[in-house]
Amino acid sequence: MPGLKRPVLPDGGLKDLNDALHDLHRRAGRPSTRDLAKLIGSEVASKSRVYDAFSSDRLPSWGLIQVLAEALCASVPSSDFTAEEQRLHSLWLAATGADRDHSPASEVSAEQTISSETNEPAPVLALRIEWARPSDLSVSNRRAVRYMVTDALLDIGYGESGPHRRDMSAGSVISVDAKREDPSLTTATVLSALEDSLGRSGVPGGYQGSTLRVLAHLGPYARPDAPDTAAQAVAELDELWRHDHTQRLFDNAQPVSSILAAPLLNLDRYNPFKVDWTHAAISLFRVDRGPQSLGYYKVWVSTQGVPPGGQTGDSAPF
């Protein structure tokens, strides 16, 4: 079967990413866009969106590239999906600013730039930060997490309030543009800010020994073409948070127990804590059309030695 149409692109990050996608498609036996849409699910991406990922001169969303890579790697003998995913993610990050005009006359918001130049919804970094046992805390200590989140937001260049923040009884959710900077750096900065706030608390053993839990998600993965990508990413974050597998992966022996979406930890560049990290996977299911496996959500988990419960280490399917 002939390969898919290649767009005419200038040299740069977007062309490098497109070349890598076409190379993976070739090694997978050049499946049709119809077959790929069936493999990843029409509710995730239509045939036309799959075609555009290969043949359009616009930058595809990371969620679409990720599911395409997983489907293609399944047909490549002895393929290493983790390595392919990391390589494509690095190329995608490099391509996010490949065709930007940085002249003063063209200064617009990040959201406007993404919408007008790539015609793709912006990927969103969503984080949930919450006490593990809020009932163990005094009222003043329970409220302290909001001040920690405010400091973290200021560190990453966002205001203390706005649509990017949602406060709750025992914590907060923040959602920010993942194209504004390397989301690995943003995540590491937030974690470092939280660690610093805990270290300066003056409370022996932290806030009455309660663990601060952090879940960081890069999305949307289920509906990358959703009209409101921030709302979709936060909805996915909330769903992941409620998952039994997620709760078992948290380690209440740590002052801060963190679970990060696999692309969000770059140990070579941004290692915010002096702790170990281990691979894990959260199994995803949908029940609205009967029990159906959606595969695994791959994560990094902070650990102080023996990993907490869950599917970790060599047993993880990636």
Q: Are residues 143 and 224 in the same domain?
A: yes
Q: Are residues 132 and 83 in the same domain?
A: no
**CATH at residue 174:** 3.30.70.1230
pTM of the model: 0.59
Q: Are residues 305 and 208 in the same domain?
A: yes
Q: What is the pLDDT of residue 312?
A: 40
Q: Are residues 215 and 256 in the same domain?
A: yes
Host domain of residue 188: 124-315
**Domain endpoint, select from 88, 117, 146:** 117
Question: Between helices 33-40 and 62-73, what is the axis angle to 10°?
Answer: 100
The answer to whether residue 1 is domain-embedded is: no
Q: Are residues 281 and 170 in the same domain?
A: yes
Q: Are residues 188 and 299 in the same domain?
A: yes
Q: Are residues 132 and 223 in the same domain?
A: yes
Q: What is the pLDDT of residue 139?
A: 85
Give pLDDT < 70 ranges for the chain: 1-2, 41-45, 97-122, 201-209, 222-226, 272-274, 285-295, 304-318
**Domain endpoint, select from 83, 117, 151:** 117
Q: Are residues 267 and 192 in the same domain?
A: yes
The answer to whether residue 241 is domain-embedded is: yes
Q: Are residues 173 and 59 in the same domain?
A: no
- Helices then strands (H, E): number in the chain? 10, 8
State the Cα–Cα distance between residues 162 and 28, nearest whole angstrom.
45
Q: Are residues 145 and 18 in the same domain?
A: no
Q: What is the pLDDT of residue 18?
A: 94
156-184, pLDDT tens digit by residue?
A: 989 888 899 999 989 999 999 988 888 88
What residues does 259 pair with on adjacent strands? Answer: 215, 301
Specify the number of domains making up the chain.
2
The answer to whether residue 7 is domain-embedded is: no
The answer to whether residue 103 is domain-embedded is: no
The answer to whether residue 105 is domain-embedded is: no
Q: What is the pLDDT of residue 202?
A: 53
The DSSP-derived string for 3-38 is PPPPP---SSHHHHHHHHHHHHHHHTT---HHHHHH
**Domain endpoint, select from 117, 144, 175:** 117
3 state DSSP class of 46: coil
Q: Are the CB atoms for 238 and 246 separated by under 8 Å?
A: no
The answer to whether residue 106 is domain-embedded is: no
275-315, pLDDT tens digit by residue?
A: 788 888 887 754 444 444 556 788 899 986 433 343 443 33
Q: What is the pLDDT of residue 16?
A: 93
Tokens read off for 132: 């593990």
The answer to whether residue 264 is domain-embedded is: yes
Q: Are residues 190 and 309 in the same domain?
A: yes
Q: Are residues 38 and 146 in the same domain?
A: no
The answer to whether residue 4 is domain-embedded is: no
State the Cα–Cα distance between residues 42 and 45, nearest whole angstrom.
5
Q: What is the pLDDT of residue 19?
A: 94
DSSP tag of 235 = H
